[in-house]
């Protein structure tokens, strides 16, 4: 598993995200396996079932904003995420990108923009995420 857009986005030095926004490359959805062993195909993104609505999206962070100013405390708040990390995201906070300027190889809806507050969990790298999958896999 490798990011298609991370290197390109790191070279896009003139693109600056505002505040606490991040761009993530969404990872492909996996199949579901029920406790009885039935394999269900990954639900379609336009399907509004309970399963799909509550599902977390996984993605690789490809670009990060500069942080934001907290009006309550008067502090500048730095971003918690960094490019290259794998994140679990709330589905409702995502804005799918149907196109991306300058990316001739861009596939529709493979990247999304969201706020750092939509991040529910962080793995430090793709390798850490793969180790996690091996640790939690049923034996």
Rounded Cα–Cα distance for residues 74 and 6 (Å): 33
Contact 19, 66 (CB under 8 A): yes
Q: What percent of the chain has pLDDT over 90?
A: 27
Say how far residue 2 (Cα) sits from the centre of its chain.
13
Q: Cβ contacts of residue 4 below 8 Å, gap of 6+? A: 25, 105, 107, 110
37 pLDDT exceeds 70? Answer: no
Q: How confident is the model at residue 48 (pLDDT cuts 50, 70, 90)?
A: low
| pLDDT score for 85 | 94
Q: Class of the 6-136 domain?
A: mainly beta
Average pLDDT, the chain: 82
Q: pTM, whole model, 2 decimals?
A: 0.78
Contact 84, 61 (CB under 8 A): yes
Q: What digits encode the pLDDT tens for the residues 55-69? A: 788 999 999 999 988
Say how far residue 54 (Cα) sits from the centre of its chain.
15
Q: How confident is the model at residue 16 (pLDDT cuts 50, 70, 90)?
A: confident
Q: Where are the domains of the chain?
A: 6-136
């Amino acid at each position: 598993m490798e990011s298609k857009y991370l290197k390109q986005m790191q070279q896009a030095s003139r693109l600056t995200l505002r505040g606490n926004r991040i761009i993530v490359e969404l990872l492909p959805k996996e199949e579901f396996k029920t406790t009885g062993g039935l394999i269900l195909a990954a639900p379609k993104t336009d399907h509004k079932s309970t399963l799909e609505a509550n599902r977390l999206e996984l993605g690789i962070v490809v670009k990060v904003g500069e942080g934001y100013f907290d009006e309550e405390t008067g502090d500048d708040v730095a971003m918690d995420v960094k490019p290259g990390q794998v994140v679990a995201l709330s589905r409702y906070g995502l804005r799918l990108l149907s196109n991306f300027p300058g990316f001739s190889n861009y596939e529709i809806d493979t990247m999304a923009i969201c706020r750092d507050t939509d991040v529910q969990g962080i793995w430090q790298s793709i390798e850490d995420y793969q180790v996690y999958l091996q640790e939690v896999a049923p034996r």
